[in-house]
Amino acid sequence: MKLIVLGASAGGGFPQWNCNCRNCAGVRDGSVRAKARTQSSICVSADGVDWALLNASPDILQQIKATPELQPNRALRDTGIGGVLLVDGQVDHATGLFMLREQKQRLPLWCADPVYEDLTTGNPVLRVLAHYSGVDRHPVPLDGSPFAMDKVAGLSFSALPLTSKAAPYSPHREQSVDGDNIGLTITDQASGKRLFYAPGLGANDPQVFARMKEADCVLVDGTFWTDDEMIAAGLSNKTARDIGHLPQSGTGGMMDWLGELPKHVRKILIHINNTNPILDEDSPQRAELTRRGIEVAEDGMRIEL
């Protein structure tokens, strides 16, 4: 299985356009050693030719420009994207679909029913796209049963509902339902190698941990370092958990959880908020991740399982 990290940041990207926090100001003026990142999205393939796009960020055109595998090379109008799968209906994961509207055929799209509801009502992206290419929507089963994409041979997918938050415009925002946010196990059918992908993960539970233990690589929520990160920065009155993200540090945080995985499992954080000190490559927080064998995703990162 081949994996490319197209974007590794949380919503707003890094540096965020209107933010003057230490990280954003520092990466602009060079006082912080950090890499700029676009908003969270990855693509996966079994053969390196046909790719599944997992989340369509608002930065998708910039990401395609930086990724030759996704560019047209077989016909006058073409793409290496064989299908799109959304793990949630958040703006930073879904509005990039607008940028794919020039498709000649309907865009193959997989999403759970609650996400489909949100993207046809509260944020009607899919209704707008009906005036352009349109989408060929496939529901994502939430019972763990495997499914495949016709145009992405050699990979199978299996979804698991996660504890997190629906998008702010969703009627489920404060009372989440199964399917608002999913984790994905992606399996290479030839090699049996597995990736577990969960960029939005609000709490630990035995089912999620079982999926992580079965994987060869986990690419999981790296949004915040501390639960009160946004409060301490003066940017919000909500904790990380309030908005559906498990922080890395603290008892029962993501670092503790990842530390319980078998040693062969590769551990990578993605969907990193611009305030998170792990973006600073010289920070003690980044050093702590390195000590624990946890990587920080960056745009253009390539992984082969």
What does the pLDDT look like over 81-121, one tens digit per residue? 999 999 999 999 999 999 999 887 899 999 999 999 999 99
- What type of residue sits at position 243? I
What gap in Å lies between CA 210 and CA 205, rounded to an integer? Answer: 9
Question: What CATH number is given to the structural domain containing 244?
Answer: 3.60.15.10
Report whether pLDDT(188) > 90: yes
* Number of domains observed in the structure of the chain: 1
| pLDDT tens digits, one per residue of 230-276 | 999 999 999 999 999 999 999 999 999 999 999 999 999 999 999 99
Provide the β-strand partners of residue 196.
185, 218
| Residues near 102 by beta carbon (within 8 Å), at least 6 away in sequence | 77, 132, 133
pLDDT at 66 over 80: yes
Report d(CA 120, CA 171) in Å as an integer: 12
CA distances from 108 to 33, 76, 95, 234 (A): 39, 20, 15, 41
Give the domain extent around 133: 2-304
Read off the pLDDT band of 76 (50, 70, 90): confident
